[in-house]
Structure 1
């Protein structure tokens, strides 16, 4: 539906109950997209969730829920947020409880089906399986009696254990559609009714030979009660295993949710008490002892420690934290006792934001999934047609004495083996696990499209300041002249610079604070734009500035042996050089390693910076980058991204600042550092939580591994259906005399889905190759 640009649009993400295959998801997605007021809808079978964008003026969440129910499914609407401190237990959420109830019912139905199906199979096939048992049964029951016992045991399997499958097939059929359960229900009911008819009216099938029914030498009736019982049992087993495996693909989300401790130690009226997490309030003071998890985001007020942030950032080593440092809820306090002040609660915490981003990413669809979705949407009707053609072919060309049996077996086998579940699960399960594993490594992927595009990246453009470098100038050297000490020179310079917001001034003041040097009283401080600053300290004129400024004052500043990216500032007192200081934006400790890792992956690396070319080239040389584009404005960075894109190269842009936002949005894949600005992170579909450039190479490796898994799954799913359907239809019978049993067809169908999920689960063990994390240290 088209809406005007001014029409307000909202989005809702809801769990869906009752989906059993990819065609279910495709049908619901189509129904939602055709609903008035819905601008877009995506239904993900693997995550069992729907993301719906709608105009509130035409639809409400409750109306959308009714639309879902009308289509034959159910949706669980999100609970209203109680407040900043609302942190619901993920295991007690409505969707988790509904999913658990559905799983338990499925388990009970499977148990009933399995208990009753075993004797049915022994009665029908005992002679082939366990001859001794078959002889014992034969001594108790005649042929007719055996068939009636099979009928008696199979009926509750079909009516009770299989009622959910049949009800779902009926519900879907009433809407003029079909899904996996349509195939199962038709096959199971057809085998059951055929068997009942053959048992009650044998003359319809045997004619004059009906009198010999039950004798070993007599003709065989098409009685397949064991097929009905086994099909339902195997389908329920497959659904049970698939439900468990699918939940394991969401283990990353569950692990993140379980990072929150249940209680926190809080100060109340001068005393410390253990209280439930939901009772914490903003500005509360909490105490975290060694070994405990940080309850929520906040700032350390007392104590020093080392925090294990590996689950949120992928950083394997504990990170030292002290007074004034921001800490993240869910991290582990390893050694020291600390006290913190709560600054963020509920949905605004880093942990909750990460969970939302991962959930949103897992609900999106990459372009490669569109192929499978289109096929799954029409697959079931095609299979029904193939099953009908198979039945007619065997009816027409099969031998007269067994054509009903052969036609029934072949058509039922086609229905059983051709479920498109493996095809529907092939792509979303791989992306589900891939994005979850990325979150564990500190890589937040906002949508699956970005992960697919990241696979074909051949060029990475790196910003310099804040990306390759720390983005925070640091005082690296103090060189006093005769009569001055380092501490004295730094103290005077910091006193003059203390009122300035310039990054270099902040570096000098910070260095003074680290040495615990008290600031001196100053007067008449004024900035000289582009040059420096001057003022009066202890009745002496102090002038601080770059080489050009001091040269104008007739005070030459030594400028030999300047390191890459270094800025040298002179300090003059009463017209005489008192000394000089060097300030530098230092390289991140991992920048060289990160560039080497990208080169190892065969990726071309280019630096984009607004800095002067000489300084940029020195930094590039130091980290191993051979191509530099310098002195760029923000829009020029974006133009360069487009320039490279026109060369048919997959381009990723990595940045952290406001000036990187246009280039991040233009790139095929924008990668923002979590230590950067909010705008940069909003402009990029991928965020590196801890700002470590090595994670760029990890992202590309993860994307390549995820896409390789997707292709493996799709290849298997296509090959499975391409080979299995002709075999089930009896293609090999003229050459081998072998016809696939519907029981084996059901087992093969269930195993195909499990194999696809199991292959995707291998991504949970993904580890980046060297040198990304293991060569060198931070």
Structure 2
């Protein structure tokens, strides 16, 4: 049976512990490739067994979550919103707390306190109880178990006191109500804060939600961008967002591509230029033909990569997850132990023993641990995306920590990738027009920067056209071709022992036709980048397939000391392997020949204008070709990892200190519930700080 990919929209998950519960449930059902994103409200998995989808959905909903068709269209009922639950409970809890300072007799009556507490307790049972029960049943007890046990203990204790008329010392209705109300307040803070951490993806999704002007039989029809199909002709005017990816048929415009590259200067577009969905027409207008729509557009792929990246767990989170999974049973055990020791050994009475035990339950906060990593990762990825840096996985952030080497490809990475022909040296009597025609016909089929530059420069020169029937690209070597007359061509690295002036050679039927000397220019920011890397104690390395003389010249100009030239793709792999054994290694490249090395490195970084294979092989894509993005990426990664460690420290330290304090009776349950909610806010607030924090 073939594997089937299932995608579900699940609402109601508010932290990583919720995601963990769903993940474990799906694992038990024998499902694979499980991805649970609590912030994006998405669950993905593949199934190759007989587990029925309705049964899976029912099991998820039994955990207390809701599976909906479209979260954007799903409007929760009034009483389902956590904000409304909090306000309802607060109305009844306020007079209960008032009795502690007010001499008003009616508020001290047990029956009045019971009636005020009962609605709050019912809301708490529905909100926390259902989730707690199903999480225990599923073998993954969550935070709600602690809240439910704590509030229920206080309510039952008070109810028994009221029925048996045992007096005021048995009235703890305000404790029960306050626990529920304050935890709901914490949930409100969590929900709003998590919404802020996921704003980057949500902003990108909003960009997609535009209309398109489709031309049908000479008339303009306004449709949703979702309904555009490949081949549709669209008109885009001044101020419009481009609805989908395509090519310009006629017209010209200045287009703001900052959404994609982080570069604020508009890009001039004209006939035949590619246009990307989500970019904004600052000036001008044009007609375009849609080439990529729906999930195939660049923007959709970026959104998908962002979602996967946010859900990918850095190794630092594994410790948090491990602790969170055993945390709830451990806290329940500590709470029972607190009750037994306080009641039987210290002889402080039932009331004090119960209050200490309840305080332990409500002071504990695995939610803070669960939120520590994903919130920081989401903010870090969002900040990187807005700066034109697309990181494919949250685990990539930790992989670049303590980077020792950054290995650069030369062409198109440290250099502009825009080449000029210095000289074409003809061997034999072949006319120059014939040579130019062969070069253009072959290089038109390649995506390499050298090929694109050769074609652009030679197209304006006289040439005899050649019709090719077969062209193939060999990694790191060059292009092979065959024309309609059966002649075989090779255009690639020059092998002759010259002074390095000529770096390309053209062969026809294994006979040398011409040698070509080409020069590329170094990117203006390359020298400053290398200097910054050295300041960060990172060793820059040049690794290229180009001639030694050219590589040495570029390396000397920008300040790189370690140079590896004339390397084929498999040789590049060996070089990367050597550096990896010495320390964390990042590889930055852009060509097909770089793809294996990008995959082999600890982290592969690709330029946006790179070949598709290089982009797929890399874990980071620099949408802005400015090399300063490399430093920005390293700085954002370092600060994100620092934020994760700070969050985990505060979450662990909070529990390590708070639980013993509560067990010894120095904290009452109400203060415990408030500080528990506050600890979540501290962790999320620290993550949100990363949005605007100075990282330079």
How far apart are 1:267 and its partner, in Å? 2.5
The yes-or-no answer on 1:457 pairing with 2:403 is yes
**What's the CA shift for 1:436?**
2.3
Q: Counterpart of 2:366?
A: 420
Q: Residue 595 of structure 1 aligns with which residue?
A: 530
Contact 1:507-1:583 within 8 A present in 2 as well: no
Distance 1:674 1:524 in 2: 31
In the alignment, which residue of structure 1 is the partner of 2:335?
A: 387
Q: Who is 1:330 aligned against?
A: 278
Partner of 2:136: 173
* 1:266 match: 214
- Identify the match of residue 678 of structure 2 among 751, 763, 772: 751
Alpha-carbon distance between aligned partners in 1 of 2:493 and 2:148, rounded to the nearest angstrom: 83
Give the RMSD, CA atoms, in angstroms.
Answer: 3.4
* Structure 1 contact 494–508 (Cα < 8 Å) conserved: no
Asked whether the 8 Å contact 1:358–1:445 carries over to 2, the reply is yes
Per-residue CA shift, 1:219-274, capped at 9, x if unaligned?
Answer: x5221111111111111111112112112211001100111352123323223443
Matching of residues 95-494 of structure 1 within 5 Å: 95-98=71-74, 100=76, 105-123=81-99, 125-126=100-101, 134-135=102-103, 137-138=104-105, 141=106, 143=108, 146-160=109-123, 162-175=125-138, 177-203=140-166, 220-398=168-346, 403-475=349-421
CA 1:59–1:47 in structure 2 vs 1: closer, same or farther (change >3 Å)? same
1:636, CA displacement in angstroms? 0.9
Is 1:68 aligned with 2:60?
yes
Matches within 5 A, 1:79-94: 94=70
Deviation at 1:435, TM superposition (A): 1.8
Matches of 2:22 and 2:231, distance apart in 1: 46
Among 599, 603, 607, the alignment partner of 1:669 is: 603
Worse-superposed segment, 225-234 or 618-627: 618-627
What is the aligned partner in structure 1 of residue 615 from structure 2? Answer: 681
Residue in structure 2 matched with residue 656 of structure 1 by the alignment? 590
Question: How many equivalent pairs are there?
Answer: 654
CA distance in 2, matches of 1:68, 1:676: 42
Q: Structure 2: how far apart are the matches of 1:457 and 1:108? A: 48
Q: Secondary structure at the match of 2:212?
A: strand
Task: Name the counterpart of 2:437.
Answer: 498
Q: Determine if the alignment matches structure 1 residue 615 to structure 2 residue 550.
A: yes
* Conserved 8 A contact 1:76-1:94: no
Give the Å deviation of 1:106: 1.7
| 1:602-649 residue CA offsets vs partner (Å, 9 max, x unmatched) | 2111011111111111111223222110111111111111111122x0
| Structure 1 unaligned residues grouped into runs of 5+ | 1-6, 78-92, 127-133, 204-212, 214-219, 480-491, 531-544, 552-558, 570-579, 734-738, 770-778
Q: Does 1:762 align with 2:689?
A: yes
For 2:197 and 2:244, how far apart are their aligned partners in 1? 26
Residues 356, 520 of structure 1: CA spacing in aligned structure 2 closer, same or farther, 3 A cutoff?
closer
Evaluate the alpha carbon distance shift between residue 422 and residue 568 of structure 1 in structure 2; reply closer, same or farther with a 3 A threshold. Answer: closer
Q: Give the corresponding residue for 2:483.
A: none
Q: 1:582 to 1:743 in 2, by over 3 A?
A: same
Deviation string 1:174-218 (CA, Å, 9 cap, x unpaired) is 445522111111111111111121122145xxxxxxxxx5xxxxx
The answer to whether the aligner puts 1:711 opposite 2:657 as a matched pair is: no
Three-state SS of the structure 1 residue aligned to 2:169 is coil
Alignment equivalent of 2:571, drawn from 618, 621, 636: 636
8 A contact 1:49–1:363 mirrored in 2: no
Aligned to 1:610, the other structure's residue is in SS state coil
Please report how far the alpha carbon of residue 282 of structure 1 lies from its aligned counterpart in structure 2 after TM superposition: 2.4
Judged with a 3 Å threshold, the aligned counterparts in structure 2 of structure 1 residues 624 and 64 are, in CA distance, closer, same or farther, namely farther
C-alpha distance in structure 2 between counterparts of 1:652 and 1:73, whole Å = 43
Deviation at 1:105, TM superposition (A): 2.4
**Change in 2 beyond 3 A, CA 1:290/1:522:** closer
Per-residue deviation at 1:382?
0.8
- TM-score where L is the length of structure 2: 0.86
What does the per-residue CA deviation read over 1:62-114, in whole Å, with 9 as the maximum and x for residues that have no partner? 554345346x254648xxxxxxxxxxxxxxx6234448559952222212101
Between 1:170-179 and 1:378-387, the stretch displaced more is 170-179
Deviations 1:561-580 (A, max 9, x none): x9x988799xxxxxxxxxx9
CA separation of 1:267 and 1:547: change in aligned 2, threshold 3 A: closer
Report the equivalent of 1:52.
45
What is the alpha-carbon distance in structure 1 between the residues aligned to residue 465 and residue 165 of structure 2? 112
Deviation, structure 1 residue 766: 5.3
TM-score with structure 1 setting the length: 0.77
CA distance in 2, matches of 1:227, 1:186: 13
Aligned partners of 2:182 and 2:674 also within 8 Å: yes
SS class of match (2:207): coil
User: How has the CA–CA distance of structure 1 residues 261 and 425 changed in structure 2, closer, same or farther, with 3 Å as cutoff?
Assistant: closer
SS of 1:286's equivalent in the other structure is strand
Query: Does the aligned pair in 2 maintain the 1:33–1:40 contact within 8 Å?
Result: no
Rounded to whole Å, the distance in 1 between the matches of 2:493 and 2:352 is 94
1:444 touches 1:687 (CA, 8 Å); kept in 2? yes
**Do the aligned partners of residues 388 and 272 (structure 1) sit closer, same or farther apart at CA in structure 2, a change above 3 Å counting?**
same
Kept in 1: contact 2:107–2:113 (CA 8 A): no
User: Residue 142 and residue 357 in structure 1: after superposition, are their counterparts in 2 closer, same or farther (change >3 A)?
Assistant: closer
- The superposition leaves residues 275-323 of structure 1 with CA deviations (integer Å, 9 ceiling, x where unpaired) of 3334433233323222221111112233333222112222232222222
Please show how residues 552-571 of structure 1 align to structure 2 within 5 Å: none
Q: Bigger CA drift: 93-102 or 415-424?
A: 93-102
SS of the residue corresponding to residue 294 of structure 1 reads: coil
3-state SS, counterpart of residue 291 of structure 1: coil
Contact 2:78 2:84 in 1 (8 A): no
C-alpha distance in 1 between matches for 2:275 and 2:656: 54
CA shift in 2, pair 1:228/1:357, >3 Å? same
Distance in 2, Cα, partners of 1:663 & 1:102: 54
Alignment partner for residue 540 of structure 2, among 590, 602, 605?
A: 605
Indicate if the aligned counterparts of 1:47 and 1:363 stay in contact, CA closer than 8 A. Answer: no
